[in-house]
Amino acid sequence: MLDIVVGGFFGDEGKGKICSFLSLRDSPVAAVRTGSINAGHTVTHEGRSWKIRIVPSAFTNSKTELLIGPGALTSVEVLSNEIEGTGVAGRIFLDPHVGIITKEEVEQERADDYLINKIGSTAQGVGYAEAKRVLRKLRLAEDYNELKGMLVDVPSRVISHIEKGSKVMAEGTQGHYLSLYHGSYPFVTSRNVTASGILSEVGVGPKYVKEVIIVFKSFVTRVGQGELPGELEEEKADQLGLIERGTVTGRRRRVSPFNLDLARKAIQLNGATQVSITKLDWLFKEAYNVKEYSKLPQEAKRWLDEIESQLKVPITLIGTGEESMSTIDLRREKGIEV
Ligand code: IMP
Ligand code: MG
């Protein structure tokens, strides 16, 4: 069956870390990336850290086949650099319909005052390339000779794995409120990043889905423009130690406390069946690297219990440190078949 991992706020919730944990723990036969190179995922495993933008975060499990779905977009350069950086050559495959971003779209985006200054785009050419795809002017992976050896029909491959009874994981990008359709338009990205959008980009129907895991960070961050309810002054965020910078752009992220209303709505629209909370250790220092729920500080447990009772969806995966394996996995305890 297919498990989908989706972001619940404005991106940067820690999906990369959770996908890496799930690949190491569950050993899915394949993982499919959706989205594009505007998304930065930080993955840390056994003391090494990678910042990736298109290679699936599941790469940390060397047995997992890595796929990039037809709805995704990449540049050839970012893809080949990352394949080298992560050492995944030979087990990564692209659908022939993956869109290819060139220098032209990057230049067009950088020169677009509205996108750069009003929206706060990451300027990776993703929006322009997506627009060209809609106009049927974009070249696809199948048009590039150097990619020929890596092409595979991703939807058929995913379905064939699932029909053999194997587990496949679909990795989303950004977060619910950056969705082109369901987010805070126009301060959004150029695609629908919700669970239904992820399915559409992978190219398989909803009957194959088992779990939709929505990832929230223990606080909310946003880069670029657009509303952020309850936004903290920079000074206040400093005092609380909630200082983060963008993986792709290096921009300082704006911060607000965990937001139940945003979380509830994102759970509803994504049809989430499980909640993951990352960076618990950023709110409760003694939670750092804890791997068993019973060993968490009392106040952290109380905070999680309160959120779970409000959200009414089980909190199953709790991130307590940057390492992929610094994660508390409560799925079995909470009756979820893994
Ligand atoms: P674009 O998708 O690069 O054009 O950026 C549009 C908006 O989405 C801007 O506010 C960006 O900061 C935001 N955005 C795009 N990708 C990410 C991401 O991976 N994490 C967080 N924000 C993102
Ligand atoms: Mg990110």
Q: What angle do CA 187, 188, 192 make, to 5 degrees?
A: 155
Please give the CATH number for the structural domain made up of 2-329: 3.40.440.10
**Ligand 1 near 321 CB (within 6 A):** no
Q: What per-residue confidence (pLDDT) applies to 249?
A: 85
- By the 8 A CB rule, do 124 and 248 touch? yes
Q: Which atom of ligand 1 is nearest to the CA of 115?
A: 4
Q: Read off the pLDDT of residues 290-318 as tens digits, 9 standing for 90 and up.
A: 999 999 999 999 999 999 999 999 999 99
Atom 10, ligand 1: residue with shortest CA distance? 224
What residues does each domain of the chain span? Answer: 2-329
Residue labelled with tokens 């050492």: 87
**Ligand 1 near 119 CB (within 6 A):** yes
- By the 8 A CB rule, do 283 and 303 touch? yes
**Residue 108 backbone dihedrals phi, psi, to 5 degrees:** -60, -40
Sequence-ordered list of residues with C-beta below 8 angstroms from that of 139, at least 6 positions apart, any chain: 100, 102
Atom 18, ligand 1: residue with shortest CA distance? 39
Q: What is the mean pLDDT of residues 220-238?
A: 95
pLDDT above 90 for 248: no
Q: Which residues of 281-304 are buried (b: 16+ CB within 10 A; e: fewer)?
A: bbbbeebeebeeeeebeeebeebb
The structure tokens listed for 148 are 């020929």
pTM here is 0.97
* Ordered alpha helix ranges (H), the chain: 15-26, 76-86, 103-110, 113, 126-134, 154-163, 195-202, 234-240, 260-270, 280-283, 298-311
